[in-house]
Amino acid sequence: MFHDIQILVDPVDLDMFKERLKHFRINGLVLSENVQQFFNHQKIMSYVRAKWDSYPWNVYHDLKGVYQWMTDITSAHSDKIALRAVGKSAEGREILAVEFKNPKAKAKVIAVGAIHGNEWISTEFVTYLIHKLLNADKSLNNKLKQVARKYQWLLIPVVNPDGYDYSMRVDRLWRKNRRDLGNGTVGVDLNRNFDYNFCKHGGSTNPKNEYYCGPKPFSEPETQALSKFVHLHHGSLNFYFAFHSYGQKIIIPYSDRVKHIENFSEMENYGKQAILKMYKLNGVKYGVGTIYDTYGYRASGDSISWVKKTYKVKYSLAFQLRDNGTFGYALPPEKILPACKEMLLGLVELMTVFRFTMKIILYLIFLVHCTFCSSKKYHNHTLYRGIPVTEKHLDFFKNLSENYNANYWRPPGLVYRPVEFVIPPEKKRQFTRDSLNQGIYLTTIIEDIQSAFDKQTVKTYIRRNMDSFDWRSYFRLDDIYNWLHDLNRMHPESMQLQSIGTTKEKRDILAARIVVGSTKNKPKVIIEGGIHAREWISIAFVTYFLHQILTSKETGNIALRTIAESYEWYFIPVLNPDGYEYTHLKDRMRRKNSNGVDINRNFGIAFGTVGVSSNKKSEIYCGPKAFSEAESSAMGNFVREKSKDLKYYIAFHSYGQYMIIPYAFSTKHHENFNEVQYMGLRAGEVISKRYGTQYSVGTAYDTVGYVTSGVSGCWVKKTFKVPYSKILANEEVVLLIHYTILCSTQNAYNDV
């Protein structure tokens, strides 16, 4: 669902096809009125023997030219490379491989192209790769030199010579091989013919079908030849790469699976670093994932899955080269070289990352456009927990920031309340000595914070592939916003998106209105997330909660559906978009907005009185005046607009497992505290019974042990008399909350 489908329609059937689209209310976009004109533009050049400049990568080359070039180049460089025939095709053509002579190499790489006859760009890239590897010593690309020297390369530009030749001479879109099957049928899809879950998914048992998988695994001479070649070299085979077109994707096994297994996360992360490099070169976006992730279907009998499963080759990948559908198989010649250059850059990036990980354990976190590798690192920063048992101890903990450059994760409040904080490596010795002298007992929670951050996988959302947005990883802001827009497009009657304001860095603050069922006279609920930039789990939960409410009719959960239909919902998943992006790009521990203000100290409730700082460098700097910030001002105006019949205002934070009730600036209990506390205690009991996780319920002073002012939920409750500025005390909602492993608030105020 929601994946583009590209269809070639015969002119004779065009009117009927358009009528059918209209009948089923399907939107169609004409990419080309005449595909043949694009094919005619795909210039095919013959190679002139021994003239290297007659084999450029701005035209396509016929099979004879490819083979002659391979013969000439291996003859001219017989000290470095050799030409081998690995088998013959159905029509008796040789399948040729170029083998690099590298006796010092302990590992091998196999790279293949043109498993499908119509994928010409794959052959052009493999020949380009041969050329670049052969001349790597002359290159300024140090990473290319590394992979050329490190591995023995074995490259087959054309696995399917019959189909490749036939597509150039007779039928440009011929995909299969050319074995005569009898009864007027010809050809098997070679990438459905390998012995991996044969013909279970994405293949056909009909010989006339483009995806005919053959009568049995390895029924075709081409797949037999490739399988024998892989078997011959499998003992030291580290990499198997199959190049295809089109789609601009890096495909990770297994192609028949919906779920990710084995080392998928590792491969995905490395792939994301590669596509970042590729994007920076030409501005062309690639995706990464399984076949199901990227194209939305499953396939079996493919070469990369077979190689990985059979020979335990850890790094077995398929690459779908340009383009993304504008030209498809009719990729113009002038785009060949740019496609080859970006793919070489991505491939080399992948391999150098892989090579590095063979020496040390490294977790790399990536996105389509940029990696999660914030420039500020926290290697050897240690997370400690301490408990002050005297006022003197409490004073010691309150001065950690000034004396030891500490970063509070759970700030000091009262005696006997835990304090959690990060100490940088250069201050550890002094800090541990001083704390020992004070008689303070410390617990080390995480020895190296950076190692924990590196495990926080950041995944890429693939537009219109809703399954690619899950809650097993974190996502960047653009991915979250793209997902919201796609979700809105899927549910236009129940969901509307709007920008409630823009930040200093001109990012929109998006709000989603959701009304399930009747739209008349419903009380309102506002859900806030991401006010503190580093609290990623709050954003993850709010998007999950939004999705659950929106799709409640589909779940079969009566209680959830009742809640969804009872209210008019408003979700603001990322109230601090500038800060959230900053945590991905520069500093994972960023809390404030781009002005350096703690937004959750900037609302107009007891502003600047307690629990805040006027020091701009402080983590709890409240700003020059109430609502001085674009984010708090936008939220304030939004709440005012929706204040009529507003029953719940719920803000999600991390961490601490608290349900905090207003007012955060007071040590006393006000208004309907007892009622709200009872609701919270009931919710806590449900969570504890279901998951064994304990939540504390009370004011900020009751739970975390300190008071503070300028908090969003406190302002909402006081200003608009909202009765329940807290987590919804409904069993099903609470279970949803904890299902995502929500760790409610740290210094901010979850139900405030």
Q: What is the pLDDT of residue 752?
A: 22
Q: What is the pLDDT of residue 141?
A: 87
Q: What is the pLDDT of residue 2?
A: 53
With bands split at pLDDT 50, 70 and 90, how would you rate the model's confidence at 742? very low
State pLDDT tens for residues 261-292. Answer: 888 888 888 888 889 889 989 999 999 999 99
pTM above 0.95, yes or no: no
Per the model's pLDDT, the better-predicted residue between 42 and 160 turns out to be 160
Residue 57: alpha-carbon gap to chain centroid = 33
- pLDDT > 80? residue 737: no
**DSSP-derived secondary structure letter, 186:** E
Span 602-614, average pLDDT: 96
Q: Which of 574, 577, 718 is nearest to 643 (CA)?
A: 718
Q: What is the pLDDT of residue 736?
A: 38
The mean-pLDDT minimum among 26-30, 555-559, 725-729 falls in 725-729
CA distance 276 to 560: 40
Span 65-77, average pLDDT: 94
Q: What is the pLDDT of residue 14?
A: 79
DSSP string, 371-431: -B--SB--TT-EEEEE---SHHHHHHHHTHHHHH--EEEE---STTS-EEEEE-HHHHHHH
Q: What is the pLDDT of residue 1?
A: 56
Per the model's pLDDT, the better-predicted residue between 50 and 104 turns out to be 104
Span 31-38, average pLDDT: 74
Residue 592 carries which side chain, given as an amino acid letter? K
- pLDDT > 70? residue 10: yes
CA distance 279 to 251: 17
- pLDDT > 70? residue 359: no
Q: What is the pLDDT of residue 739?
A: 33
State pLDDT tens for residues 397-422. Answer: 999 999 999 999 989 988 888 999 99
What CATH code is assigned to 465-739?
3.40.630.10
Residue 706: alpha-carbon gap to chain centroid = 38
Span 383-390, average pLDDT: 90
Per the model's pLDDT, the better-predicted residue between 622 and 295 turns out to be 622
With bands split at pLDDT 50, 70 and 90, how would you rate the model's confidence at 730? very low
Per the model's pLDDT, the better-predicted residue between 280 and 129 turns out to be 129
CA distance 482 to 461: 8
Q: What is the pLDDT of residue 209?
A: 95
Span 22-50, average pLDDT: 76
- pLDDT > 90? residue 206: yes
**DSSP-derived secondary structure letter, 46:** P
SS3 83: strand
- pLDDT > 90? residue 369: no
Q: What is the pLDDT of residue 416?
A: 84
Burial 20-52 (b: 16+ CB within 10 A, else e): eeeeeeeeeeeeeeebeebeeebeeeebeeeee
CATH 3.40.630.10 domain extents, the chain? 43-357, 465-739
Query: Do 345 and 379 meet the contact criterion of CB atoms below 8 Å apart?
Result: no
CA distance 527 to 125: 50
With bands split at pLDDT 50, 70 and 90, how would you rate the model's confidence at 218? very high
State pLDDT tens for residues 438-454. Answer: 888 888 989 999 888 88
Q: What is the pLDDT of residue 43?
A: 72
State pLDDT tens for residues 152-177. Answer: 999 999 999 999 999 999 999 999 99
CATH 3.30.70.340 domain extents, the chain? 382-447
With bands split at pLDDT 50, 70 and 90, how would you rate the model's confidence at 362? very low
**DSSP-derived secondary structure letter, 212:** B
Peptide bond into 189 cis (omega under 30): no
Q: What is the pLDDT of residue 750?
A: 25
Q: Would you tell me the crossing angle of helices 142-150 and 120-134 to the nearest 10 degrees?
A: 90
Q: What is the pLDDT of residue 27?
A: 78
The mean-pLDDT minimum among 255-264, 493-502, 734-743 falls in 734-743
pLDDT above 90 covers a percentage of the chain that reads: 66
Per the model's pLDDT, the better-predicted residue between 712 and 745 turns out to be 712
Residue 128 carries which side chain, given as an amino acid letter? Y
Per DSSP (E only), the strands in 217-359 are 237-245, 249-251, 287-289, 315-321
pLDDT above 70 covers a percentage of the chain that reads: 93
Q: What is the pLDDT of residue 465?
A: 85
Span 340-344, average pLDDT: 96
382-447 fold: Alpha-Beta Plaits (3.30.70)
43-357 fold: Aminopeptidase (3.40.630)
DSSP string, 122-183: HHHHHHHHHHHHHTGGG-S-HHHHHHHHHEEEEEES-S-HHHHHHHHHT-TT--S---EEET
Q: What is the pLDDT of residue 298?
A: 93
- Cα-flanking dihedrals φ and ψ of residue 220, to 5°? -100, 140
- End-to-end alpha carbon distance in the chain: 39
Please tell me which of 38-52, 339-353, 592-606 the model is most confident about, judged by mean pLDDT.
Answer: 592-606
State pLDDT tens for residues 422-440. Answer: 999 999 999 999 998 988 8
With bands split at pLDDT 50, 70 and 90, how would you rate the model's confidence at 729? very low
3-state secondary structure 571-632: EECCCCHHHHHHHHHCECCCCCCCCCCCHHHCCCCCCCCCCCECCCCCCCECCCCCCCCHHH
